[in-house]
Structure 1
Amino acid sequence: MGQSTLVQLDTARPTASATKVSETLEDSRSRGAGFGRSFYVANAMEIFERLAWYGFFTLSSLYMSSGVESGGLGFSDIQRGTIQGIIPFLLYLLPVFTGALGDRYGYRKMFFIAFAIMTPSYYLLGQVSSYGAFFTVLLLVAIGAAIFKPLVVATVSRTTDDQNRGIGFGIFYTMVNVGGFVGPLIAGVIKAISWDWVFTLASAWIAVNFLLLLAYREPVATTPRSSAKNPVSIVTDIARVMKNRPFVIYLLIMAGFWACYNQLFLTLPLYIRDFVDTAPLLETVASFSPDVAGAIASEDGTQVSPEFITAFNFGSILLLQIAVSTWCQSLPALRVLVMGTITVAASFLWIGFGPIWGGLGVVTAVVAFSVGEMLASPKSQEYVAESMPSAQAALFMGYYFLSMALGFLLAGLMSGWGYGTLAKTMGRPDLMWGCFAVLASITAAGLLCYHRQFSIQRQNQDRREETP
């Protein structure tokens, strides 16, 4: 997910003193470089896991909706949208409970279990054809990923310190985007051979991590295993968070943003395939490099395959995120968050009501969308720290990802209904993108109303907490 958006599911917050932690850091740490061996191993594992996930996920709409005669599954748009809503919803929800497994049973063991689940599951995705079987196997992929995700983030956290944690997570998120950018490009090329190769390659990417795991060393335990969070304490925390009315409202508002964000992966590939004439863009590419044009062409050789256009999302983030973050770092979080959301809405209008300049216009819209994402995604988490009671900011930050889970669920259902009914049945894809743009605009307006309603309330509460 373009991925300035990856949630920091660090389920093992440091509780030991800084001195004690520094004395017990893993033996492999290189003091000169500032990072230990496991830091680099974890980043490498993240790349391969992202290569597998985005190599599949970016193409999933095309695969599920393509006819059986073309090698796809022939699912209806409602079936496709239901899968794309429920499975990612669970993927982002399950780490609440799987996050503590590394502390209880050991990181290497849980990494092994995650890879043992995902490796055969990715391969089996290409071998099953019924709706129930595909749903079940993809659910196994989500379970494996839900085990992996908090482990790798916690490893990065534990193998960095206060002096280098910022650059450490910067490297980590760069690796996320490298995998997100390269994975679909490679998968798009081998898709021309066979859909089966897409899933075989995804399985192979995960299998590489078994080899990397040989070089992985258990990170230092900053939380005793006996004090690691159990399901009861997690449910208690969630109940506590859900009692905070402003936070719940904020989660619901931001779920609208994430529902819009995911249309880039769920709906845009289908729209490009069925409604956008990318032949002029392909001809332009061919004038510079016939070989590249052949690699990115669709099966009939006349259009650009959609995944190579959506890849501009990850590519632009890799190139522009630092510049965008630098530009807006001193600006108020809410202002930037609203600007980003409105930019996303404008990109949807550009896509749907034209599209201006054909394939090149869609590429431009994807880059504009990515700028909106780069503005809104980091600031959406920063705003949690600003708008929640300061004494409980860390707790609320830890559960912000619930808005992403809800957004994924809503995104899949919206995509299935919107594309099946508005775009295909009614022949009005412009109305579909207009609806997505309206939701993004409502989200931006909701954020402004939320800030006006609750910012003063929060400031008064902080003053009361500071009063002896």
Structure 2
Amino acid sequence: MSETVTTNENAPSSWRFPKTFWFANSMELCERAAYYGFFILITLYLSSVVGFTDIEAGVISGLFSGALYLLPPFMGIIADRIGFRTAMILAFSLLTFGYGMLGVWTTKVSVCLFLCVLVFGAAFIKPLITGTVAKTTNASNRARGFSLFYWTVNIGAFLGKTFIPFIRQEIGLHYVNFFSAAVCAVALIIAILFYHPESGETERKSFGELFRSLGKILINARLMALTIIIAGFWTVQQQLYATMPKYVIRTVGESARPEWIANVNPLVVVICVIFVTQWMRHKKAITSMTIGMFIMPFSAFAMSLGPWLNDAFGSSIMGLHPFTFMLVVGIALQGLAECFISPRFLEYFSLQAPKGEEGVYLGFSHLHSFFSAIFGFFISGFLLDKYCPARETLPAGLSDAEIATYYENAHHIWYYFVGIAAVAGVALVIYTAICRAVDGKKAADPAQTDEAAKPENLP
């Protein structure tokens, strides 16, 4: 039996939501724990367990991650047609099967096939969960509903990466897949037994309409320029998963826990995002994004300072290896930059949408992550191969001192990302100046004024 939710738009704001809302968020928590527990180690798994080179692992991981940012709008159309409940059961069936098989079959061909299974399963989740949150809230509590959803995403990601090191170090890396499969199986049981979403009428779009909207975005020079610039930020952010796990394990040793280091990012975001948003509430979105963009070069530079810190202060800083300590500092700065950039980018992106197409435009608002995932993981593989190679690729019979020479310039990897972040920051300043000049001329001539040139939409 499906639940209904009050539609009284003038009702007082409340933290009370129907059961379907809570079950949907419970499944989201499980899915995020499974995904991030797996994704933080994806390149390690592909290289150490499956046998791909660093370059091959980077290419495969980039395509996998990129597809997850591109496909959700299309899977959302399928979900609307087959029904949310059926789609949710299908999604978690695919995820449970895909993760489980990655732990059983580790040949190169089978792993690529099962990664495709994961892509299609995971691409359902975002439109299903956000759609459920939208359907089970109203104007009086929608902001709180999506705030709870955002917290659920971060808590799930945090918990998944918290438990994974014990499995990887005590049992084995490929058993991480069984953890993810088990967590998705729990979500599947919730979907089968308890998930009964409201079956009200919704506006259904066709694939043709979706492709036309995507085409409009791709030929919108303003939006695509900003998307590519912001992709510079996310290219550096992607190194949390593309480069950092292999970098820290190969330089610090197998005792390193990249999963916990990566958790610094969501922790900083959860703590700081409300304060940053409140502080920047009277500033234009582009101003907030610019501040965040210029934090990023310092983030990447901080991560390169491990060797310097080791020479200056020895092998332990506050109980952490110097390389680990500087990674924590750099990732904390990334989290802070994200607080300035991510929420305001969505706001700015939505303002550029034609009236009535805001939802479709926001569905493709993560194109920057599609581009940055592919580019970021691709270059990561080449940089790791050059500066921080896998131990098994080194010549046999080397002494510890000889092995160390292969890693003495490993920190140079981060200099490339200092450059990418700095170029992106400067590009955003130039973009803002050009947009203001163009929009200023349009605003002065009412006949030429379009939606983007309205005063409230100016950068």
Tell me the TM-score normalised to structure 1 length.
Answer: 0.82
Q: Which residues in structure 2 correspond to 1:7-406 (within 5 Å)? A: 22=6, 33-66=15-48, 72-191=49-168, 192-213=170-191, 214-224=193-203, 228-276=204-252, 298=254, 303-355=255-307, 356=309, 357=317, 358=322, 359-386=324-351, 395-406=360-371
CA-to-partner distance for each residue in 1:428-466, whole Å, 9 max, x for gaps?
333321111111111111111111112343455565358
- 1:45 deviates by 0.4
Paired residues of 2:84 and 2:197 also in contact (CA < 8 A): yes
How far, CA to CA, are the matches of 1:397 and 1:102 in structure 2? Answer: 18
CA-to-partner distance for each residue in 1:80-135, whole Å, 9 max, x for gaps?
10111101111111112111122211100010111111111101111222222211
Paired residues of 2:98 and 2:115 also in contact (CA < 8 A): yes
Structure 1 moving runs of 4+ over 6 Å: 388-392
Alignment correspondent of 2:433: 452
- Provide the secondary structure at the position in 2 that maps to 1:126: helix
Would you say 1:407 and 2:372 are equivalent positions? yes
Paired residues of 1:340 and 1:373 also in contact (CA < 8 A): yes
Alignment correspondent of 2:456: none
Paired residues of 2:92 and 2:185 also in contact (CA < 8 A): yes
Alignment correspondent of 1:441: 422
- 1:392 deviates by 6.2
Letter of the 1:318 partner, please give it: V
Q: For residues 441 and 387 of structure 1, do their structure 2 counterparts lie closer, same or farther at Cα, with a shift above 3 Å needed? A: farther
- 1:161 deviates by 1.3
Tell me whether 108-117 or 125-134 shows the greater mean CA deviation: 125-134
Paired residues of 1:24 and 1:220 also in contact (CA < 8 A): no
CA-to-partner distance for each residue in 1:172-231, whole Å, 9 max, x for gaps?
01000001111011111112212343111110101111221121122353525xxx1111
CA-to-partner distance for each residue in 1:225-271, whole Å, 9 max, x for gaps?
xxx11111111111122221111212222222221111011111111
How far, CA to CA, are the matches of 1:459 and 1:391 in structure 2? Answer: 25
- 1:348 deviates by 0.8
How far, CA to CA, are the matches of 2:126 and 2:361 in structure 1? Answer: 19
How far, CA to CA, are the matches of 1:108 and 1:435 in structure 2? Answer: 45
Paired residues of 1:351 and 1:361 also in contact (CA < 8 A): yes
CA-to-partner distance for each residue in 1:369-424, whole Å, 9 max, x for gaps?
21112221112222224566778655543322112111111111011111112333
How far, CA to CA, are the matches of 2:381 and 2:201 in structure 1? Answer: 44
How far, CA to CA, are the matches of 2:363 and 2:121 in structure 1? Answer: 21
Tell me whether 215-224 or 73-82 shows the greater mean CA deviation: 215-224
Q: For residues 460 and 222 of structure 1, do their structure 2 counterparts lie closer, same or farther at Cα, with a shift above 3 Å needed? A: farther
Structure 2 unaligned blocks of 5 or more: 310-316, 390-405, 454-459
Alignment correspondent of 1:4: none
How far, CA to CA, are the matches of 2:133 and 2:354 in structure 1? Answer: 28
Q: How many residues align?
A: 413
How far, CA to CA, are the matches of 2:330 and 2:432 in structure 1? Answer: 29
Q: For residues 388 and 148 of structure 1, do their structure 2 counterparts lie closer, same or farther at Cα, with a shift above 3 Å needed? A: closer
Paired residues of 1:266 and 1:412 also in contact (CA < 8 A): yes
Q: For residues 429 and 386 of structure 1, do their structure 2 counterparts lie closer, same or farther at Cα, with a shift above 3 Å needed? A: farther
- 1:330 deviates by 2.5
Alignment correspondent of 2:400: none
How far, CA to CA, are the matches of 2:93 and 2:350 in structure 1? Answer: 37
Q: For residues 465 and 350 of structure 1, do their structure 2 counterparts lie closer, same or farther at Cα, with a shift above 3 Å needed? A: closer
How far, CA to CA, are the matches of 2:71 and 2:227 in structure 1? Answer: 17
Q: For residues 250 and 93 of structure 1, do their structure 2 counterparts lie closer, same or farther at Cα, with a shift above 3 Å needed? A: same
How far, CA to CA, are the matches of 1:411 and 1:341 in structure 2? Answer: 16
How far, CA to CA, are the matches of 1:320 and 1:381 in structure 2? Answer: 18
- 1:168 deviates by 0.8
Q: For residues 34 and 460 of structure 1, do their structure 2 counterparts lie closer, same or farther at Cα, with a shift above 3 Å needed? A: farther
How far, CA to CA, are the matches of 1:454 and 1:428 in structure 2? Answer: 41
Q: For residues 38 and 360 of structure 1, do their structure 2 counterparts lie closer, same or farther at Cα, with a shift above 3 Å needed? A: same
Letter of the 2:185 partner, please give it: A
Letter of the 1:219 partner, please give it: E
Tell me whether 325-334 or 267-276 shows the greater mean CA deviation: 325-334
Alignment correspondent of 1:431: 412
- Provide the secondary structure at the position in 2 that maps to 1:178: helix
Letter of the 2:227 partner, please give it: L
CA-to-partner distance for each residue in 1:280-327, whole Å, 9 max, x for gaps?
xxxxxxxxxxxxxxxxxx4xxxx4322222222222223332223222
Letter of the 1:260 partner, please give it: V
How far, CA to CA, are the matches of 2:208 and 2:442 in structure 1? Answer: 29
How far, CA to CA, are the matches of 1:97 and 1:395 in structure 2? Answer: 11
Paired residues of 1:107 and 1:151 also in contact (CA < 8 A): yes
How far, CA to CA, are the matches of 2:419 and 2:194 in structure 1? Answer: 49
Letter of the 1:85 partner, please give it: G
How far, CA to CA, are the matches of 2:79 and 2:13 in structure 1? Answer: 25
Structure 1 unaligned blocks of 5 or more: 1-19, 67-71, 278-297
Paired residues of 1:95 and 1:150 also in contact (CA < 8 A): yes
